[in-house]
Amino acid sequence: MIIRKNPNIRFPNPDPSRVPPGQFVTQQWPVLHYGHVPKVDLATWRFSIWGEVENPVSWTWKEFQALPRTELTVDIHCVTKWSKLGTVWEGVTIDDLLAAAGLEEPPAPYLMAHCDGGYTTNLPLEDLLGGKGLVATRFDGEPLAPEHGGPARLLVPHLYFWKSAKWVRRLRFMEHDEPGFWESLGYHIYGDPWREQRYDGD
Ligand SMILES: Nc1nc2c(c(=O)[nH]1)N[C@H]1C(S)=C(S)[C@@H](COP(=O)(O)O)O[C@H]1N2
Ligand SMILES: [Mo]
């Protein structure tokens, strides 16, 4: 028997209404990132909200586990053209995070996600509210694997997957949009897969 690890295996009969233009469906889960998988020590791990907020807040791993948790089943779409349907995640919604931080009003319209290892990606806050964004710590009922961003990654499934920052540690609120890592290197500032916003100018 041949075990195929190739993410490019195509599955011919996905529901076409769930597959954005130019994407193919895979049942594999490719591991893609710039640089190395960081070593993360949960004893010193903190998750923080800072930037344009009155009172920056941070949670220890234990405190973070005590926040309200949400399960989300979603399709994910990578700009390298693979899509994976029906992925099951668990974590803390950005709504619940902001509420736990005592922020009743959205503090600023944009934010930058900062990760262990230095990766960044920018997002309008609007795209994370209303249950659309999660700080995910579990996948398929298991702790999120380090190569997929564990202990915690951002999950913003309606945008290309580079916006779903692995090893996320800080959300920095900003008055004005700024490009993150890939956005500074020619990728689209917003990244809507349904409008094929892959590169700057798309
Ligand atoms: N910290 C960090 N997060 C990251 C990246 C990265 O390089 N560093 N790459 C992004 C890109 S381009 C993709 S496609 C997805 C891949 O996630 P996966 O390895 O879980 O499939 O992670 C995103 N999040
Ligand atoms: Mo990507």
Average pLDDT (114-127) is 98
Q: Which of 132, 115, 133 is nearest to 181 (CA)?
A: 115
Q: Give the distance between the most distant pair of CA atoms in the chain.
A: 59
Alpha carbons within 13 A on the beta-carbon side of 134: 22
CA of 125 to the centre of ligand 1 (A): 20
Distance CA 26, CA 107 (A): 38
Neighbours of ion ligand 2 (CB under 5 A): 32, 78-79, 162
- Name the residue with the closest Cα to ligand 1, atom 23: 162
Banded model confidence at residue 91, pLDDT cuts 50, 70, 90: very high
Domain that holds residue 58: 22-32+43-195
- Tell me the pLDDT tens digit for each residue of 7-30: 555 666 678 899 999 999 998 999
CB of 162 within 6 A of ligand 1: the answer is: yes
10, part of any domain: no
One-letter amino acid of 43:
A
14, part of any domain: no
Q: Which of 52, 47, 48, 50 is nearest to 174 (CA)?
A: 52
Average pLDDT (166-186) is 98
- The three-class DSSP label of residue 22 is coil
CB of 23 within 6 A of ligand 1: the answer is: no
13, part of any domain: no
Residue at token pair 């930058």: 112
- Tell me the pLDDT tens digit for each residue of 51-70: 999 999 999 999 999 999 99
Q: Tell me what percent of the residues of the chain surpass a pLDDT of 70.
A: 94
Whether the Cβ atoms of residue 168 and residue 114 lie closer than 8 Å to each other = yes
The 8 Å CB, 24+ separation contacts for 186-189 are 187/79, 187/160, 187/162, 188/160, 189/122
- Ligand index nearest the alpha carbon of residue 83: 1
8, part of any domain: no
Q: Which of 76, 119, 191 is nearest to 201 (CA)?
A: 191
Distance CA 53, CA 157 (A): 25
Q: Which ligand 1 atom sits closest to the C-alpha of 78?
A: 14
Any idea what the CATH number is for the domain that residue 148 is in? 3.90.420.10
Count structural domains, the chain: 1
Distance of CA 79 to the CA centre of its chain: 13
CA of 162 to the centre of ligand 2 (A): 5
Q: Which of 117, 92, 132, 122 is nearest to 40 (CA)?
A: 117
200, part of any domain: no
User: Which residues on neighbouring strands pair with residue 50, listed in sequence order?
Assistant: 172
CB of 165 within 6 A of ligand 1: the answer is: yes
CB of 115 within 6 A of ligand 1: the answer is: yes
CA of 115 to the centre of ligand 1 (A): 11
CA of 104 to the centre of ligand 1 (A): 30
